[in-house]
């Protein structure tokens, strides 16, 4: 008969023996997949940020040019552009380019009403601007890091002279608004769609 005070020895459990080779390989696989997914996500985010910067710069340039053209029309003391009215004048924009306010013919618009960049640029209705900072030279192509060249084009559609009937009164040779379209595209990269802005004089 065994003494009740004698302790019995129990077999040792091997739960704390460490990771097996299979568990280590699985952990490494999970880590590699996680790193690959993170790298792909960061790459996509970087490309999306670059796309947004290009689109925002194009939209800024298009809005700026359209506002300057509309302001120039406001500064004219008399209507212009449609026969028998006199031809419109020109002005220098913020980038020192000559902007012709007369109707540019032939029109450089595509069927959807946006600027058709497949046509040749017209003098007085186009310019190239390099943006990216004060150190960016205004040369094309822009080779300095952080500098990017943009092709800006605009179309001005001469308004027609109309006859308006208001009650019993009739007004002849009433000039309708000038239709202005400004398109901007990034030079040297065809993956970015041009940005177009439409405006009209009052």
The residues spanned by each domain of the chain are 31-200
Q: Which residue has the higher pLDDT, 81 or 118?
A: 118
pLDDT value at residue 158: 79
Q: Which residue has the higher pLDDT, 19 or 110?
A: 110
Sheet of strand 148-157, all strands in order from the earlier edge strand to the far edge: 126-131, 148-157, 179-186, 195-200
Q: The tokens 């308004």 sit on which residue?
A: 159
> What letter would DSSP give residue 104?
P
Q: To the nearest whole percent, how much of the chain has pLDDT over 70?
A: 81
Query: In whole numbers, what is the pLDDT of the chain averaged over residues?
Result: 82
Do residues 48 and 42 lie in contact, with contact meaning Cβ atoms separated by under 8 Å?
no
Q: What is the pTM of this model?
A: 0.72
Query: In this structure, what token pair is assigned to residue 178?
Result: 């000038």
d(CA 59, CA 187): 15
Q: How confident is the model at residue 26 (pLDDT cuts 50, 70, 90)?
A: confident
3-state helix, strand, coil in the chain (%, to 5): 25, 25, 50
Q: How confident is the model at residue 10 (pLDDT cuts 50, 70, 90)?
A: low
HEC profile of 128-182: EEEECCCCCCCCCCCCCCCCEEEEEEEEEECCCEEEEEECCEEEEEEECCCEEEE
Q: How far is CA 100 from the centre of its chain?
A: 24
d(CA 62, CA 23): 59
The tens digit of pLDDT for each residue in 149-178 reads 999 999 998 777 667 676 776 766 667 788
Do residues 156 and 125 lie in contact, with contact meaning Cβ atoms separated by under 8 Å?
yes
d(CA 76, CA 62): 22
pLDDT value at residue 24: 83
Query: In this structure, what token pair is assigned to residue 47?
Result: 């490309």
pLDDT of 18 above 80: no
pLDDT of 127 above 90: yes
Q: How confident is the model at residue 92 (pLDDT cuts 50, 70, 90)?
A: very high
The tens digit of pLDDT for each residue in 29-80 reads 888 888 888 877 777 766 665 677 888 999 999 999 999 999 999 888 777 8
Do residues 179 and 200 lie in contact, with contact meaning Cβ atoms separated by under 8 Å?
yes
């Amino acid at each position: 008969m065994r003494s009740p005070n004698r302790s019995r020895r129990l077999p040792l459990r091997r739960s704390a023996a460490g990771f097996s080779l299979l568990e280590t390989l699985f952990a490494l696989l999970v880590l590699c997949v996680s790193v690959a997914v993170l790298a792909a996500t960061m790459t996509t985010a970087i490309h999306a940020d670059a796309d947004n910067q290009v689109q925002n710069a194009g939209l800024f340039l298009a809005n700026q040019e359209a506002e300057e053209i509309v302001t120039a029309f406001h500064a004219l003391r008399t209507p212009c552009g449609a026969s028998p009215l006199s031809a419109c004048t020109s002005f220098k924009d913020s980038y020192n380019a000559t902007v012709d306010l007369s109707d540019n013919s032939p029109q450089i618009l595509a069927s959807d009403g946006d600027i058709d960049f497949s046509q040749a640029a017209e003098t007085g209705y186009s310019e190239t601007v390099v943006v990216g900072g004060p150190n960016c030279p205004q040369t094309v192509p822009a080779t300095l890091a952080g500098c990017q060249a943009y092709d800006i084009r605009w179309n001005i559609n001469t308004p027609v002279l109309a006859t308006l009937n208001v009650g019993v009164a009739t007004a002849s040779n009433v000039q309708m608004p000038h239709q202005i379209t400004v398109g901007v595209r990034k030079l040297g990269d065809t993956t970015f769609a041009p940005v177009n802005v439409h405006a009209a004089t009052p």
